[in-house]
């Protein structure tokens, strides 16, 4: 994207770290990950070597504090990783985002054994993780989940169904949200345990990711893999989900930027009545307007990361940004397709893929309606019944 905006001091103290690692990651993505995308999109099989590549190069340790064996860099650096991956495709990114979310849960709330067993190997790309929240009848309504965890000796047994679970067929470990006798708990489940089955779903979007429907039939979870108090996990789950939303925003903004770039590149090479399309106001006007949207979204994302890294939950800011960034990414991609004619819908192009993938962003990690409910609650408004 053309840099038309004057340079200003970055808000985040982590910006320098993120920037210094960006070129290395871009090279890795372009040389080793992007070439895997076409086959992954066609087969809907996520190339698990992505985790190994990222782990070996240290990009799965980025963002985590040194005390956890990480490289530092805060959420700003994680956003950088997600955005560089998103340049290769939203599908690839979808299967990596759960890593950052589960890492929050394991290191903030997990036992020392769980950190050793799962947390640290994760950062080397040796374990693949996912988070199990949505169910067939409980998507937006997280509180109505039916998956249950019941005590069994020192551990727990989990039974139930989960829906739209990323990495279900490839994960070694899943963070499962389940009801207990007196609340909701988080459980770090080993997928090699008996009773675990995952079925891959056939999707319209983010096809390179592994999206599944999961059944738990009394799957055993030992005590050291319970993440925090097993009856007080709802707030932890919401914190984890809020962390995922920042990364969803980052992905949406990157897809919008890529769509915008593609439209500008197309308009630079195409002519109308003998003039480059980009030399006409019909193209310049909508593209310039979209540039303003992208700038504001970047500022919002930077601010949300800064707040998170300072320890602020930033619930309102992240909810606002989630609604706005996913909506704008759909609009900007729609604009790019409209401007580029048949080239914008040609199978296999980034723009055609983005058109599918941006719409996914409006429903993952909480739909725009859920973001509105959160904002209404944060604003102290009465609970809306209908």
Partner 1 sequence: MDDDIIESLIAAVGEVLDTELAGLASDRAARNRTTLNRVLTSLGELGYLTAGSEDGSGLGLYADARLAATLAESWGSLAWAALPTLLGNRLGEAEGYAPTALAFPEPNTWSQAQLEGGTVTGELRFVLNADSATRVLAVSPSGAAVMASIAKRRESGDSVEGFSETIHDSVFLAPDGAAVTGELVSAVRILRASIACGLAAGAISLGVRYAQERVQFGHPIGVYGEIRSIVARAAGLHRSAQALVDQVARAWDAGSRSDADAAQALLVAVENSTIAIERMQHVHGGYGQMAEFEIGRYMRDVRIVGAFDASLPSLEDIVADDFGLPRFSS
Q: CA nearest 186: which of 176, 199, 195?
A: 176
Contact 76, 197 (CB under 8 A): no
Residue 174 CB, shortest distance to partner 1, in Å, is 17
Residue 342 CB, shortest distance to partner 1, in Å, is 5
Contact 84, 250 (CB under 8 A): no
Which residues in 196-212 are b (16+ Cβ under 10 Å) and which e? bebeeeebebbbbbbbb
- Rounded CA-CA distance 133/350 in Å is 30
Sorted by sequence, the CB contacts under 8 Å of residue 158 that are 6+ apart come out as: 147, 148, 149, 176, 178, 187, 189, 216, 218, 219, 221
Contacts with partner 1, 116-135, as mask; x by CB under 8 A = ------------------x-
13 binds partner 1 (CB under 8 A): no
341 binds partner 1 (CB under 8 A): yes
137 binds partner 1 (CB under 8 A): yes
DSSP 344: G
Q: Is 30 helix (H, G, I), strand (E, B) or coil?
A: helix
Cα-Cα-Cα-Cα torsion 336, 320, 309, 18, nearest 10 degrees, comes to: 10
Contact 118, 173 (CB under 8 A): yes
Residue 151 CB, shortest distance to partner 1, in Å, is 29
CB atoms within 10 A of CB 359: 16
Cβ nearer to partner 1, comparing 120 with 207: 207
Contacts with partner 1, 208-247, as mask; x by CB under 8 A = ----------------------------------------
347 binds partner 1 (CB under 8 A): yes
Q: Is 130 helix (H, G, I), strand (E, B) or coil?
A: strand
Among 269, 282, 295, 312, binds partner 1 (CB under 8 A): 282
Residue 65 CB, shortest distance to partner 1, in Å, is 33
183 binds partner 1 (CB under 8 A): no
76's tokens: 């700003």
Residue 252 CB, shortest distance to partner 1, in Å, is 14
Residue 375 CB, shortest distance to partner 1, in Å, is 12
Contacts with partner 1, 193-212, as mask; x by CB under 8 A = --------xxxxxx------
Stretch that binds partner 1, among 4-12, 60-68, 254-262, 364-372 (CB under 8 A): 364-372
359 binds partner 1 (CB under 8 A): yes
Residue 345 CB, shortest distance to partner 1, in Å, is 5
Contact 151, 163 (CB under 8 A): no
Among 86, 177, 339, 374, binds partner 1 (CB under 8 A): 339
Residue 159 pairs in a beta bridge with 148
- Rounded CA-CA distance 367/178 in Å is 21
Residues 248-277 that bind partner 1 (CB under 8 A): 270, 272, 277
Q: CA nearest 319: which of 240, 235, 249?
A: 249
164 binds partner 1 (CB under 8 A): yes
Residue 202 CB, shortest distance to partner 1, in Å, is 4
**Residue that the structure tokens 């309606």 belong to:** 369
Cβ nearer to partner 1, comparing 31 with 338: 338
Contacts with partner 1, 315-334, as mask; x by CB under 8 A = ---------------x---x
- Rounded CA-CA distance 349/319 in Å is 31
Cβ nearer to partner 1, comparing 72 with 139: 139
Cβ nearer to partner 1, comparing 59 with 266: 266
Angstrom distances, CA of residue 35 to CA of 50, 88, 278, 348? 11, 9, 30, 13
Contacts to partner 1 by CB under 8 A: 134, 137-141, 144, 163-164, 201-206, 270, 272, 277, 280, 282-283, 330, 334, 337-348, 352, 355-356, 359-360, 362-364, 367-369, 372, 384, 386
């Amino acid at each position: 994207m053309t840099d038309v905006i004057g340079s200003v001091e970055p808000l985040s103290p982590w910006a320098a770290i993120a920037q210094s690692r960006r070129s290395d990651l871009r090279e890795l993505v372009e040389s080793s990950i992007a070439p895997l995308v076409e086959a992954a999109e066609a087969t809907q099989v996520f190339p698990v070597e992505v985790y190994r590549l990222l782990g070996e190069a240290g990009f799965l340790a980025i963002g985590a504090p040194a005390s956890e064996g990480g490289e530092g860099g805060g959420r700003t650096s994680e956003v950088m990783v997600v955005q560089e991956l998103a340049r290769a495709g939203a599908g690839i990114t979808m299967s990596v985002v759960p890593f950052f979310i589960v890492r929050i849960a394991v290191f903030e709330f997990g036992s020392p054994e769980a950190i050793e067993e799962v947390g640290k190997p994760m950062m080397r790309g040796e374990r693949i993780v996912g988070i199990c929240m949505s169910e067939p009848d409980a998507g937006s309504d997280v509180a109505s989940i039916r998956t249950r965890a019941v005590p069994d000796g020192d551990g727990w047994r989990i039974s139930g169904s989960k829906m739209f679970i990323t990495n279900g067929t490839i994960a070694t470990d899943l963070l499962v949200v389940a009801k207990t006798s007196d609340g909701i708990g988080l459980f770090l489940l080993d997928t090699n345990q008996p009773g675990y089955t995952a079925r891959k779903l056939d999707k319209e979007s983010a096809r390179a990711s592994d999206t599944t429907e999961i059944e738990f039939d009394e799957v055993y979870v030992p005590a050291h893999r319970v993440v925090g108090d097993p009856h007080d996990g709802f707030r932890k789950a919401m914190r984890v989900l809020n962390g995922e939303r920042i990364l969803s925003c980052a992905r949406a903004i990157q897809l919008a930027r890529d769509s915008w770039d593609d439209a500008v590149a197309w308009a630079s090479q195409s002519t109308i009545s003998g003039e480059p399309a980009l030399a006409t106001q019909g193209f310049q006007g909508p593209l310039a307007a979209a540039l303003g949207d992208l700038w504001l979204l970047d500022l919002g994302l930077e601010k949300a990361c800064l707040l998170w890294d300072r320890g602020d939950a930033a619930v309102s800011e992240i909810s606002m940004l989630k609604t706005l960034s996913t909506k704008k990414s759909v609009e900007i991609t729609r604009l790019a397709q409209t401007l580029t004619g048949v080239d914008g819908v040609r199978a296999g192009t980034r723009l055609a893929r983005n058109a599918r993938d941006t719409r996914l962003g409006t429903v993952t990690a909480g739909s725009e309606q859920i973001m509105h409910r959160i904002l209404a609650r944060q604003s102290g408004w009465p609970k809306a019944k209908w």
